[in-house]
Structure 1
Amino acid sequence: MLFHVRMDVTIPRDLPAEEAAEIIARERAYSQALQASGKWRHIWRIAGEYANFSILDVRDNAELHEILSGLPLFPFMKIEVTPLLRHPSSIREDDR
C-alpha cells in the first residue's frame, strides 16, 4: 500500500543541542535504511520548513504505524497520512 505522509518537526528549544544532534543522526540512519529497503520510496524537504513529504510503500496500516512510531523524532512530529491508490490513467506500472 502506498501512503503520502507529511511530517512536521518541532524540536523543543530547551532540548540540549547534543541530544538533538544524536536524535537527528538516529533519524537519518533509520530513514535511510527504510529507503534502501524500498519501504520509504520518496522523501522531499518542504522549502522553508522543518518538514517533509514522503511516499511509503508498506504492507498495511499497521506496518505504516510501526514505521512512523519508530522514528526517533516521532515525539516531536505532527504527521498527516493520506492513503494512495493507482490512478487508472497512470502509465507507471509499478504504482500500485
Structure 2
Amino acid sequence: MRFLIVRTDIRTAADADLAAAWADRGWLRDEQIAPEERRQIVRAEDRDAALLLARALSTVGAVRSGRQRVKVLPIDEPGRRNRPGFR
C-alpha cells in the first residue's frame, strides 16, 4: 500500500468557534470542506518508509513548535476497489 506524507499549517481557531463546536458536539475543522494549507508532500511505497519520512519531517522547527503538523495518509492502489471480492 502506498502512503502520502503531508506537512500542513495548523489553522488557529477563535474562542467562539471552539465554544460552538463544543456545545454542538460537532467538529471544529472539517478537512474535506476546508483542508489545511499544505507545505510539503512526499510519497512512500510502504508503511515503514512513510513513518521514516514522517519522523524526518517532524524535526522541522515549525512542526516542533506546534505551528505545523505531519500527517501520514494511506492511499489505495489504483483499481483495487474494482476487483471482484474486494471489501
Larger Rg: 2
TM-score category of the 2 structures, normalised to the smaller one: 0.3 to 0.5
User: What TM-score do you get using the length of structure 1 for normalisation?
Assistant: 0.36
User: What TM-score do you get using the length of structure 2 for normalisation?
Assistant: 0.38
